[in-house]
Structure 1
Amino acid sequence: MRTAYLGGQSIAALAREHSVSRGAIRTAVADLLPEQTAADQDIRAPESPVTPDMPGKVADFLRAAELDDVERAVLDQGATVRRGQGYTLRVTDSPALHRRLLVRCQPLDGGHGLPTIPARRKARREYENRVSTLTPGP
Structure 2
Amino acid sequence: MRTGYLDGRSIAALAREHGVSRGAIRTAVTDLMPEHTAAAHDDTPAPELPVALDMPGKVADFLRAADLEPAERAALDHGVTVRRGQGYTLRVSAVPAVHRGLLARCQPLDGDQGAPAVPAPRKARREYENRVSTLTPTGP
| Same fold flag (TM > 0.5) | yes
* Partner of residue 24, structure 1: 24
- Seen in structure 2, the aligned counterparts of structure 1 residues 114 and 89 have a Cα distance that, compared at 3 Å, is farther
CA distance in 1: counterparts of 2:56 and 2:97, whole angstroms:
18
Q: TM-score scaled by structure 1?
A: 0.78
The unaligned stretches of length 5 or more in structure 2 are none
The unaligned stretches of length 5 or more in structure 1 are none
CA distance in 1: counterparts of 2:132 and 2:86, whole angstroms:
23
- Seen in structure 2, the aligned counterparts of structure 1 residues 23 and 113 have a Cα distance that, compared at 3 Å, is same
- Seen in structure 2, the aligned counterparts of structure 1 residues 105 and 25 have a Cα distance that, compared at 3 Å, is same
CA distance in 1: counterparts of 2:13 and 2:82, whole angstroms:
59
* Partner of residue 110, structure 1: 111
- Seen in structure 2, the aligned counterparts of structure 1 residues 98 and 32 have a Cα distance that, compared at 3 Å, is same
- Seen in structure 2, the aligned counterparts of structure 1 residues 9 and 101 have a Cα distance that, compared at 3 Å, is closer
Percent identity between matched residues is 66
Structure having the larger proportion of residues in strand: 2
Q: TM-score scaled by structure 2?
A: 0.77
Q: Secondary structure at the match of 2:55?
A: strand
CA distance in 2: counterparts of 1:15 and 1:123, whole angstroms:
57
* Partner of residue 85, structure 1: 86
CA distance in 1: counterparts of 2:83 and 2:102, whole angstroms:
21
Q: When the two structures are aligned, how many residues end up with a matched partner?
A: 136
Q: Which moved more, 1:122-131 or 1:68-77?
A: 68-77
* Partner of residue 131, structure 1: 132
- Seen in structure 2, the aligned counterparts of structure 1 residues 81 and 17 have a Cα distance that, compared at 3 Å, is closer
- Seen in structure 2, the aligned counterparts of structure 1 residues 112 and 14 have a Cα distance that, compared at 3 Å, is same
The question of whether the paired residues in 2 share the 8 Å contact of 1:80 and 1:88 is answered with yes
Report deviation, 1:7. Answer: 8.0
- Seen in structure 2, the aligned counterparts of structure 1 residues 82 and 16 have a Cα distance that, compared at 3 Å, is closer
* Partner of residue 72, structure 2: 71
CA distance in 2: counterparts of 1:100 and 1:80, whole angstroms:
20
CA RMSD of the aligned region, Å?
A: 2.7
Q: Which moved more, 1:21-30 or 1:76-85?
A: 21-30
CA distance in 2: counterparts of 1:126 and 1:111, whole angstroms:
19
Counterpart amino acid of 1:75? L
